[in-house]
């Protein structure tokens, strides 16, 4: 493998958290933790979110902290993701708002948790563990933002520079296939995309992706993945996109 390519990839790779379903079931002590399914974290007097299109209750899918350091003074809130599996939105701008939802909680605690909201009996509740891994941008991002790296890949394999890039990524210790993750870069299935804040119109920041999870019985279309975004300036504004194979 090209030493120049290896060195270039080492400079741009990022750390993220791989989320791994660990134990099935739910207990109140897990209420404010990163986890799949079961009852969503909710507090007193909250009502279950309703899809504005079909009128059904949204399903709780996943909750997480977008920044790993929860002890910092400016620690990130717990983000709770709901989705309507009857209407199956993909996150397009022309979709009716409310078919999916991210609710933030600044100071979540098991003592404030109210049980019973968002439960979807089709899923299996799972606690999760996380591990730090390295990731790289999608190859389309490489072509747009790092053309010198794309040229190195073309020198290695002019017919299939994407494979050359993926092989080099594995060589520098990066994960190159989609998985549930927090932070880092998105690993796209159908190619690079972005979401813009409806207020400031600036591109949102990628905060995590939720892969199809066999243990949870969670499947996005044909083994797809959901990508989540948040505006850096308007923290109550979120974006979502679903991509499938």
Structure tokens at 125: 């509740």
Structure tokens at 186: 């998105």
What is the tally of structural domains in the chain?
A: 1
Strand partners, 67: none
Structure tokens at 105: 């909680």
Of 2, 220, 46, 9, the closest CA to residue 135 belongs to 9
Structure tokens at 154: 């073309």
Q: With pLDDT > 90 as the criterion, what percentage of the chain qualifies? A: 91
Backbone angles phi, psi at 78, to 5 degrees: -75, 130
- Say if residue 232's pLDDT is above 70: yes
Q: Mind listing the pLDDT tens digit for each residue in 82-114?
A: 999 999 999 998 999 999 999 999 999 999 999
Confidence grade of residue 76 (pLDDT, cut at 50, 70, 90)? confident
Question: From the DSSP assignment, how many helices (H) and strands (E) are in the chain?
Answer: 4, 11
Q: What is the DSSP letter of 86?
A: T
Phi-psi region of 221 (alpha: psi -120 to 50; beta: other; left: phi over 0): left
- Say if residue 73's pLDDT is above 50: no
What pLDDT score does 68 carry?
54
**Gap between the Cα atoms of 85 and 58, Å rounded:** 8
Q: Do 68 and 208 form a contact (C-beta atoms < 8 A)?
A: no
Q: What is the CATH number of the domain that holds 71?
A: 2.30.320.10
- DSSP H helices, the chain, are 3-12, 139-145, 147-156, 161-171
Confidence grade of residue 1 (pLDDT, cut at 50, 70, 90)? low
Neighbours of 127 (CB within 10 A): 18
**Whole-structure pTM value:** 0.94
HEC string of 184-237 equals CCCCCCCCCCCCECCCCCCECEEEEEEECECCCCECCCCCCEEEEEECCCCCCC
**Gap between the Cα atoms of 38 and 216, Å rounded:** 10
Q: Do 68 and 17 form a contact (C-beta atoms < 8 A)?
A: yes
Per the structure, the complete domain to which residue 153 belongs is given by 3-243
The helix-helix angle for 3-12 and 161-171 (nearest 10°) equals: 70
Q: Mind listing the pLDDT tens digit for each residue in 172-214?
A: 999 999 999 999 999 999 988 889 999 999 999 999 999 999 9
Report helix, strand or coil for 1.
coil
CA distances from 176 to 34, 61, 116, 184 (A): 23, 24, 37, 12
Q: Do 172 and 9 form a contact (C-beta atoms < 8 A)?
A: yes
């Amino acid at each position: 493998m090209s030493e120049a390519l290896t060195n270039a990839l080492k400079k741009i790779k990022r750390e993220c958290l791989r989320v791994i379903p660990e134990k099935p079931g739910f207990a109140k002590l897990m209420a404010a933790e990163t986890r799949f399914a079961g009852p969503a974290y909710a507090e007193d007097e909250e009502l279950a979110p309703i899809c504005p299109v079909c009128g059904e209750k949204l399903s709780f899918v996943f909750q997480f902290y977008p920044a790993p350091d929860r002890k910092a003074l400016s620690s990130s809130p717990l983000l709770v993701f709901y989705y309507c599996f009857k209407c199956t939105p993909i996150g397009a701008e022309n979709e009716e708002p409310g078919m999916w939802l991210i609710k933030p909680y600044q100071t979540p605690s098991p003592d404030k948790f109210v049980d019973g909201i968002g439960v979807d009996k089709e899923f299996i509740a799972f606690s999760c563990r996380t591990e730090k891994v390295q990731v790289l941008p999608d190859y389309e991002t490489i072509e747009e933002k790092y053309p010198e790296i794309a040229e190195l890949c073309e020198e290695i394999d002019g017919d299939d520079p994407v494979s050359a890039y993926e092989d080099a990524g594995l060589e520098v210790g990066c994960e190159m296939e989609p998985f549930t993750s927090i932070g880092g870069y998105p690993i796209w299935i159908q190619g690079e995309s972005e979401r813009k804040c409806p207020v400031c119109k600036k591109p949102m920041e990628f905060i995590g992706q939720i892969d199809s999870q066999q243990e949870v019985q969670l499947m996005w279309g044909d083994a797809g993945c959901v990508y989540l975004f948040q505006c850096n300036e308007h923290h109550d504004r979120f974006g979502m996109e679903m991509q499938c194979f």
